[in-house]
Structure 1
């Protein structure tokens, strides 16, 4: 497991904490990590991140919910940027 994957995995674990401050800080740290252009998540890690952040939209703490909403708004913008950067493959081989 790469150091980035390990770091993301640790943040995801902290995002399930019963302590609202841990959830808030882990969510904030994850958002900062994901804003870096150098971060490349594999499909499984990306799925885990999206699943966790969608769960946090229903968090019982309003500050954590607000971060998740902020992430969701940023995610849509970045998703379209990623789609534009995707190489086009020739189906004919």
Structure 2
């Protein structure tokens, strides 16, 4: 029998928190008009790249792209990072 993967166990534990996503302030249903305007100011090619990596469920590449916007809009960057760190790619794609 294969040994349990502690990283996978941790991810499954995080993903299975009951009701967590409905309480998250960064969930897409809480998207404000201000947030939408902030996203619209970002370069189209950057948004397309982020959308592509989100569809591919590529956490590392998504975070790398999001970190590029830290100097431009740190608050929005942190919100997007939170979505990726919670594996909420659906919520991220809805924002984009």
Task: Report the TM-score when normalising by structure 1.
Answer: 0.29
Structure scoring higher RCO (CA < 8 A, sep ≥ 6) equals: 2
